[in-house]
Amino acid sequence: MTIWQIISIFLIFAGAFFITVGSIGLIRLPDFYSRCHATGKADTLGLLLVISGLIIYEGFSLHSAKLLIILAFVGLTSPTATHALARAAFRFGVKPRFKTTLRPREKS
Amino acid sequence: MKKAFIKGTIIQFLVLAGLWLILSGKFDYFHVTIGFLSAALVTLVHLRLNHHLYFRHGIAQVRPLRLVKMVFYIPWLTWQIILASLQVAYVVLHPKIPINPSLIKFRTKLPNVTAKVILGNSITLTPGTLTIRIDNDEFIVHALMDASATSIIDGSLPFQVAKLYQRRPSTVISEVKILRTTKGL
């Protein structure tokens, strides 16, 4: 177990944590736009961390170059996709909820 | 204008050829030749579109991106993504979900479309904000937490984006409004 393997395992676990947080946020947050916050940010960072962990695990090779391209594309497309979702919802007429209109969550 | 068009076409060809080399992973004569030929073919197909973009749409009239600034901008943005995700993690895992959503509406004076794309994506990736709509110069942004705590109100984020294009940008945003209703949108 070299130091690089430990770093890559740490990064992959951190990425898994953020993807999990994004999924929990998708369930817990109250309206569409705040759910977009959870998936747009936490998932982006999670994917970036997992992929950079894999790059470090792989070392300097052609596979790392391919992963680097994936990294760049994820960084570009993930916020764009989130914006596309939010814009489509806004055009369709989904109203964002504010603090005054937020209902307290029903206890089950 | 013509110079920028030729430069853009050559850069496109080189990017495509490099992408082929990395993705194929084979460096013998046969594969490299086929790769360069297909990159040339794609560039040829795109030539008319590029011509339209440069001569009708006028993307060459704006200042080019300052690549040196980009080197500083990307680590800064990465740090902002980490902060944003930690904030989302805090909000989501907090038992009471402490959010206070609002909409921020503002106008920008950014030089071109690419700058607006960079600003829109950066807003989505920085803590607490999400781009909802871009209408010419008018941005509508959803803020998850207290809106005055975001980097849009004090104008630091749009300023960073404008600095990618100009050395000393003037004030880039105006008419900032914080909305808590959806009336009048």
| pLDDT at res. B103 | 84
Task: Please tell me the total number of residues recorded for chain B in this structure.
Answer: 185
pTM of structure: 0.80
* ipTM for the assembly: 0.82
Cβ burial of B29 (10 Å; 0-12, 13-18, 19+) is exposed
Residue of B nearest to A42 (CA): B85
- Residues of chain B with pLDDT > 90, as a percent, come to 8
Domains of chain A, by residue range, sit at: 3-92
Tokens of B36: 């360069």
Contact criterion met (CB < 8 Å) for B19 and A69? yes
* Cα distance between residue A105 and residue A90, in whole Å: 24
B115-140 tens-digit pLDDT: 788 888 888 888 888 888 888 778 88
Instruction: Show pLDDT as tens, one digit a residue, over chain A (108 residues).
Output: 788 899 999 999 999 999 999 899 888 888 888 888 888 888 889 999 999 999 999 888 888 888 999 998 888 888 889 889 988 988 888 888 776 655 555 444
- Does the CA dihedral B68-A41-B172-B99 come out positive or negative? negative
Domains within chain B, CATH numbers bracketed: 2-61 (no CATH), 67-179 (3.30.70)
| pLDDT at res. A108 | 44
Rounded to a whole number of angstroms, the distance from the CA of A98 to the nearest CA of chain B is 5
Of B22, B88, B120, the CB nearest to A37: B88
Say which residues have a Cβ less than 8 Å from residue A8's Cβ, sequence separation at least 6: A53, A54, A56, A57
Chain B residues within 8 Å of chain A (Cβ atoms): 19, 22-23, 25, 81-82, 84-85, 88-89, 91-93, 97, 99-103, 120-121, 124-125, 127-128, 130-133, 140, 142, 144, 180-182
